[in-house]
Amino acid sequence: MRQFTVRPDDNDVRLDRWFKRNLPEVSFAMVSRWARTGQIRVDGKRADVDTRLIAGQSLRVPPAGGPLPLAGGGKGGRVRKPLTEEQLHLAEDIVLEQDRAAIVINKPPGLATQGGSGTYEHVDGLLDAYAGDGDPRPRLVHRLDKDTSGVLLVARTPGSAAFFSRRFSGRTARKIYWALVMGVPDIHDGMIELPLAKQPGTGGEKMMVDETEHGMPARTRYRVIDRAGNRAAWVELQPFTGRTHQLRVHMAAIGHPIVGDGKYGGQGAFLSGSISRKLHLHARRLRIEHPEGDLLDVTAPLPEHFSKSLEQLGFTETEGDLPLEAPVLVEPKTLEKRAAKAHAKQYRKERRGERRKRIDGPATTGARKPTGQRARVAGAAAGKAPAKAGAKPGAKPGAKPGAKPATRTTTAKPGAKPAPRRAAPKAPGTKAPGPRSPGKR
């Protein structure tokens, strides 16, 4: 086993990031495997890839025996290969901006950010193209989903990597996404606050809304830029937290999945006609503090399929950049938040079939009369006062509980004559009928 002491400049760094800084030849897949099997120890205890290290801690890792694995991905035992001419050209073409501290690239859709099981083409594997002779290997400081395109920040040095990582974890970095969604949200400028958790049985590959204590807080602001009738909407998304698949899950949860997102929207996430079936989610803009005191503000052009879809739906790409407002979050008791949460909750209930049946629905043959609370509600709706608890059937309104029913019964003695019938009372102003005159019968 190799043993290291965490340096002060590695304080509060994730374990996988520590490997990127100090042992870049070890792939993320290998680090994950070592962590799962308990081969990595921090102060003698097992550690996960997301464990944050503290300066002065003792770190033990497996020995560096045999050939070094491919950095950033690949299966164990493979030596890092030199980049091909095609890879070098790709690495050069996707650069948007670079300086001594950072490289900003426009990640194309379909290219993974990091490697994993069966993933050999990824951004992390291209970072050697940006390292000069004797310079440290550049490091990723955040990620984008494989099918999401747009702005991706890469740090050139360990110091700038730590600086940018703190800005992302401190929520001071501003990230703007563009997306095409199915339908049009009722509220054109809203905040979605739905906690997320990993969906069981998916190996952590899929997220879900979880409003129990297991859900992690997640906040997303959306603004409708334009709409194509009721068919689709072009929206701007701003995540205020960084949960996995947050934007995709949130938009699907309010009934407007991102176009092309079959994972969370199913077959209802695809537009008919010639609109591309690829995911229409693009990291349009990143605004973050720079280590040298400036402000790094970069915008990434759209990929071809997204740009073509906007044109086919009648949208103008140049009109999509809305003013970047201050990150003022919606107050908990505002109308916008209540309406957005109610809309999302109602949609989920409809999807699960958990809507309650209406009390005043059409009666069915043989249906039982409502009892208890439902009987009181039904009686009040019909304009009748509900009977008090404990009252017997037939009791007069206002009678005390336990009183006898307001009915009158008589018992005739054996052999007694029947009581004479009483004459009906005369109406005022009427005369009694006189004797019949003998006339025609």
Confidence of residue 80 (pLDDT cuts 50, 70, 90): low
Q: Looking at the predicted structure, is the pLDDT value of residue 192 above 60?
A: yes
Query: Buried (b) or exposed (e) across 126-136, using 16+ Cβ within 10 A?
Result: bbbbbeeeeee
Whether residue 104 contacts residue 151, with contact meaning beta carbons closer than 8 Å, is answered with yes
Task: Report the share of the chain in percent with pLDDT over 70.
Answer: 70
Tell me which CATH code domain 1-75 carries: 3.10.290.10
Helical H runs in 70-185? 85-93, 158-169
Q: Which of 50, 145, 321, 360 is catalytic?
A: 145
Q: What is the largest CA-CA distance in the chain?
A: 143
**Residue-level pLDDT at 418:** 57
**Residue-level pLDDT at 31:** 86
Total residue length of the chain: 441
Residue in 121, 114, 115 with CA at minimum distance from that of residue 144: 114
Q: In the annotation, is 145 catalytic? A: yes
Let me know if 399 is exposed, middle or buried by CB neighbors in 10 A (0-12, 13-18, 19+). Answer: middle
Q: Looking at the predicted structure, is the pLDDT value of residue 423 above 60?
A: no
Tokens for 13, please give them.
């760094």
Using one digit for the tens of pLDDT, what is the confidence trace for 103-120?
999 999 999 998 776 777
Amino acid identity of residue 313, one-letter, is L
Tell me which CATH code domain 85-170 carries: 3.30.2350.10
Q: What three-state secondary structure class fits 287?
A: strand
Q: What three-state secondary structure class fits 42?
A: strand
Confidence of residue 313 (pLDDT cuts 50, 70, 90): very high
Mean confidence (pLDDT) of the chain: 79
Q: What phi-psi label fits residue 203: left (phi over 0), alpha (psi between -120 and 50 degrees) or beta?
A: left
CA 374 from centre of chain: 36
Q: Answer whether 1-75 and 85-170 agree in fold.
A: no
Cα separation of the two ends of the chain = 131
| DSSP label of 16 | H
- CATH number for 171-351 (one of 3.40.50.620, 3.30.1490.20, 3.40.50.300, 3.30.2350.10): it is 3.30.2350.10
Whether residue 61 contacts residue 4, with contact meaning beta carbons closer than 8 Å, is answered with yes
**Residue carrying the six token digits 């996430």:** 269
Residue in 122, 110, 158 with CA at minimum distance from that of residue 13: 158
Whether residue 18 contacts residue 10, with contact meaning beta carbons closer than 8 Å, is answered with yes
**Residue-level pLDDT at 419:** 57
Which residues touch 41 (CB under 8 Å, ≥6 apart)? 47, 58, 59, 60
Using one digit for the tens of pLDDT, what is the confidence trace for 355-387?
555 555 555 444 444 444 443 333 444 444 444
Q: Looking at the predicted structure, is the pLDDT value of residue 269 above 50?
A: yes
Among 81-85, 124-128, 359-363, top mean pLDDT goes to 124-128
Using one digit for the tens of pLDDT, what is the confidence trace for 196-232?
999 988 766 899 999 998 899 999 999 999 999 999 9
Domain boundaries along the sequence of the chain: 1-75, 85-170, 171-351
